[in-house]
Chain A
């Protein structure tokens, strides 16, 4: 012990010095740094959690927007389809009505033509009766052979035709 220089006095000096140093280091550095590191770890954990929440929120809102867009698209398609249906129905109605009108007009024209024809035929018939009567009068007035008979009819017809022409 003597040769190594170990003395109780010096041993205690170094022991106490070391313990004081330990205590002061703890107070000055370890304590503050330990507390700061813990609080920093806590902060990092919190911000990671907040970021995760924000990410989830963003994802869910994007989903919602997409769903809304899809719904709007479906609705739009429905509206277009409805409009197309209505338009085609309207067109059909218009066509039907136009066809009906045409038919009505045709019908009316046909009726008119028929009536005109009837009246014309009536008139012709009347005329022919008159002519026949006239022809008969003439025949009666004269004795007639067969030949003169037919020439007489032709003459009457010619007269009648020329009269009509005039």
Chain B
């Protein structure tokens, strides 16, 4: 404390830190309860599927795919700098790459039995998985990823979802005309997602200050009654034309307009607060332009599939089709039914490993993303700083776990099944 008082620099820093803490507490979710909350933003709609931000032709480009490519380009740049002019006396990028490479070279050799070069067949994939997962985790927590985006209007939102549903309806009722399919899909969508909430915002600016509370259910934007939808669905099923039905026209109009129709008030709490009325405000969803690739199940599943398929390839190459296949398909007559059952379980094990790979990485990184969002909401300005560091750490740890598990599964696959069995046969 004496040191703090004697050094003006430290004192200024301490005062600034305390001030930042006070501002962030007052401006965040806590302050919002007392009429402050001036720094609050809406919690982005937490969507497990990655959002599409554009179409290339008919190909929907997801925000997570963009970040996968960004991470890949960063990695390729480093690799190109490191590998374009390798020298015996390394420098710069080559040093970095060599360090990582040697670390994994030693690790794979250690896990694969300790002989030099015994783990070389695993090296390329294991280090690629580590580098790729680490880089997509890290670029995924850059500021701006997941927080900068555009507002998807209700019309766009409905359009995308109806498109997906149309395919399902068409499969169920192939005899429906396209118009019927569209109508049924829209009715299904409204029935299922009537209680989904959207952010209400005024003009181009998102209505700030109330965070997650500033959400309006779909029913208050597109007004309908459940029985109206039932009636419409029946009419469509009987082949009637509903395009001039007043209820249908109202629904289509509401979707197109995309504003809060019914009075939807929210009591903000606190003695001096008046309920906030959202009526007439535009509603929509915040669609981030960028999203960490590892917060999309497609990415983690793709890497898990590559890893587990490669593990099978290693197994078949090391033990042959009979040797490796014999781990899973055991003859119940000569080996006994229990061994057969164990073999089938092992086969399922390969499948569950793929799934656990997928959701371990996805779960950790998605939770990290939500953690950052929540901290930005609770303590704006400073709340996310320690958690950014934590996420960097989690990102590299998850990458390491993914790579190491791939290595361990690979080593297990190439080890001949039950060494004691073969020894017993020899004796």
Contact = CB atoms under 8 A, between A and B. Distances in A.
A28 B76 contact: yes
A10 interface: yes
Contacts, number: 113
A22 interface: yes
A9 B61 CA distance: 10
Given A14-B298, A22-B132, A30-B127, 15 more contacts: A9-B60, A10-B62, A11-B305, A17-B68, A17-B69, A17-B302, A21-B72, A21-B76, A22-B128, A25-B128, A28-B76, A28-B80, A30-B83, A33-B97, A33-B101
Contacts of B262: none
Contact of A5 (B49, B87, B88, B105): B49
A26 interface: yes
B82 A22 contact: no
A140 interface: no
Interface residues of A, number: 34
B48 A5 contact: yes
B183 interface: no
Contacts of A4: 48-49, 297
Contacts of A146: none
Contacts of B299: 14
A108 interface: no
Interface in B281-329: 293, 296-299, 301-303, 305-306
B298 A31 contact: no
Given A7-B298, A21-B132, A37-B101, A29 B48 contact: no
B306 A15 contact: yes
A31 B83 contact: yes
Interface in B38-65: 47-50, 59-60, 62, 65
Contact of B79 (A19, A25, A39): A25
A114 B78 CA distance: 129
B75 interface: yes
B292 to A, nearest CB: 13
A21 B69 CA distance: 9
